[in-house]
């Protein structure tokens, strides 16, 4: 729900929107990665739990007809609770009277990867938990820099090309390499610290807990991404994107406790599409990429990663059921011939949303994950794991 207050005597509008979320959770038995375990969901430890799901507040100010300012903050209950900045930027988009329209924005913002997280506070209107692809985007990806867009609008379809130069995302990729994929709605803001699995930290000779900041600069390289979008009335949207943070795999900076924070050269292609067939909304996306680190000269570690999902959501007024299937995998290189060092798995998410009022949404969600990760055997755990997380969320909007 959106409210706006015009400022007296100025051609300027302010708006605020946000949410407050509380939930009852039936958690999988394995300890979540959020708490230092190897579980793939946000919650773990088994049993029924009352949890604070989070809160967010997003403000926009139309400073002039062409200039917009946006800032979003959030409060979430994770390994460490605190208020974080999700994104903050200025966007200049002059009024256009032709089919061509351009804009430029500068600040800190999400790369435009997600096709499902388009609600307030970078959340999904269909499920509590986003796909594996967009769980990772919320964990480790943020662009601090500038983005330019150009759009050609037609009577039936339109094209949009956008590109960005950014910094302060050099450690991104670390979590995919050492933990693998997750499915979690825990989105990290600027200045947050992500916890590495305790088993990995001990195996590396350190004492847990170990945390790192994914939104740091290591070196002076500029990353970039390019995205091409096509939209057509009655058809939907098709989006192709290439991302490369151009981090130096040999780069590192001193970090807390005398440790080193390493850079990971992370890049990927993403292809996504949305379409409506009657009351059904379809969202599909696939990602393919790699992340590379060279901690000492000539010792190169590469993690190939892939993920894809298909979501079907049914628009039934106040009721909105949704069903999503995910597939995800990683592969560690180099490796011995005939072996698969990494992980592969699938997940199924079923959600039922009921929104009897504009300010209230109740969501019942069941998430089942079935995966095999070979490195678990090194920690004395079975490589093959299954887990189901059930959540009942009450979300208040304002």
> What's the N-to-C CA distance of the chain in angstroms?
5
Residue 162's beta-bridge partner residues?
149, 227
- What's the whole-number average pLDDT of the chain? 94
SS3 of the chain: helix, strand, coil, percent, to 5: 10, 55, 35
C-alpha 310, offset from chain centre: 16
Please tell me whether residue 310 adopts helix, strand or coil conformation: strand
> pLDDT digit string (tens) for 57-102?
999 999 999 999 999 999 998 777 789 999 999 999 999 889 999 9
Q: How far apart are alpha carbons 5 and 334 in whole angstroms?
A: 58
Q: H or E element: which one contains 350?
A: strand 342-357
pLDDT bucket at 335, cuts 50 / 70 / 90 = confident
Question: Does 345 have pLDDT greater than 60?
Answer: yes
368 in Cβ contact with 396 (< 8 Å): no
* Residue 169: closest CA among 294, 266, 295: 266
pLDDT of residue 338: 63
Mean pLDDT value of segment 300-309: 97
Tell how strand 143-153 and strand 342-357 pair up.
Answer: unpaired
- As beta bridge partners, residue 51 has 23
In the three-class reduction of DSSP (H, G, I as helix; E, B as strand; rest coil), residue 201 is classed as helix
Query: How do strand 360-373 and strand 194-195 relate by DSSP bridges?
Result: unpaired
CA distance 110 to 188: 11
d(CA 181, CA 41): 10
What residue ranges do the domains of the chain occupy? 94-397
The confidence band for 394, taking pLDDT boundaries of 50, 70 and 90, is very high
Tokens of 207: 């004492």
The answer, yes or no, to whether residue 8 has pLDDT greater than 50, is: no
CA distance 35 to 43: 9
* C-alpha span between 163 and 222 (Å, rounded): 13
Q: Which residue has the tokens 């990995």?
A: 200
Token pair, residue 79, equals: 């390994």
**Whole-prediction pTM:** 0.94
Query: What is the spatial distance between Cα 329 and Cα 317, in angstroms, rounded to a whole number?
Result: 36
CATH classification number, 94-397, choose in 3.30.460, 1.10.1740, 2.40.160, 2.60.40: 2.40.160
| Residue 7, pLDDT above cutoff 50 | no
Candidates 383, 353, 375, 347; CA nearest to 365 is 353
Specify the pLDDT at position 339.
Answer: 65
In which residue are the tokens 């560690």 written? 332
Residue 129 has pLDDT above 90, yes or no: yes
- Which pLDDT does position 9 carry in this prediction? 36
Which residues contact residue 360 at a Cβ distance below 8 angstroms, ignoring those fewer than 6 apart? 394, 395, 396, 397
Q: Tell me, what's the pLDDT at 191?
A: 86
Confidence tier at 139 by pLDDT (50, 70, 90): very high
pLDDT tens digits, 225-255: 999 999 999 899 999 999 999 999 999 999 9
259-290 residue pLDDT tens: 999 999 999 999 999 999 999 999 999 999 99
In this prediction, what percent of the chain has a pLDDT beyond 90? Answer: 90
Q: Work out the average pLDDT over 33-42.
A: 96
């Amino acid at each position: 729900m959106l409210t706006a207050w015009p400022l007296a005597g100025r051609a300027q509008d302010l708006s605020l929107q946000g949410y407050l979320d509380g939930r009852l959770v039936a958690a999988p038995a394995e300890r979540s990665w959020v708490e230092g375990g190897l579980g793939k969901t946000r919650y773990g430890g088994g049993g029924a739990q009352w949890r604070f799901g989070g809160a967010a507040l997003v403000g926009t100010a139309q400073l002039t007809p062409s200039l917009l300012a946006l800032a979003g903050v959030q409060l979430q209950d994770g390994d460490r609770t605190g208020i974080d900045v999700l994104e903050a930027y200025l966007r200049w988009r002059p009024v256009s009277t032709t089919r061509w329209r351009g804009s430029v924005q500068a600040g800190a913002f999400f790369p435009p990867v997600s096709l499902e997280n388009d609600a307030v506070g970078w959340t999904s209107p269909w499920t509590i938990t986003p796909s594996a692809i967009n769980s990772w985007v919320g964990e480790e990806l943020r662009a601090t820099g500038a983005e330019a867009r150009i759009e050609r609008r037609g009577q039936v379809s339109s094209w949009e090309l956008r590109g960005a130069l950014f910094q302060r995302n050099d450690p991104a990729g670390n979590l995919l390499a050492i933990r693998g994929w997750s499915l979690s709605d825990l989105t990290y803001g600027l200045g947050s610290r992500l916890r590495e699995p305790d088993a990995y930290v001990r195996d590396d000779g350190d004492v847990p807990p170990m945390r790192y900041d994914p939104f740091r600069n290591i070196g002076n390289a500029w990353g970039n991404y390019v995205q091409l979008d096509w939209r057509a009335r009655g058809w939907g949207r098709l989006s192709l994107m290439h991302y490369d943070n151009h981090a130096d795999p040999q780069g590192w900076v001193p970090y807390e406790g005398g440790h080193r924070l390493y850079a990971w050269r992370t890049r990927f292609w993403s292809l996504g599409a949305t379409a409506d067939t009657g009351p059904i909304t379809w969202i599909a996306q696939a990602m393919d990429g790699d992340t590379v680190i060279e901690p000492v000269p000539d010792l190169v570690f590469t993690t190939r990663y892939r993920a894809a999902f298909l979501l079907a959501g049914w628009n039934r007024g106040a009721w909105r059921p949704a069903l999503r299937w995910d597939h995800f995998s990683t592969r560690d290189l180099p490796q011995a011939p005939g072996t698969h060092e990494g992980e592969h798995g699938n997940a199924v998410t079923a959600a039922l949303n009921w929104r009897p009022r504009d300010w209230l949404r109740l969501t019942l969600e069941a998430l089942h994950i079935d995966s095999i990760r070979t490195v678990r055997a090194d920690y004395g755990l079975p490589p093959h794991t299954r887990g189901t997380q059930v959540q009942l969320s009450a979300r208040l909007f304002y």
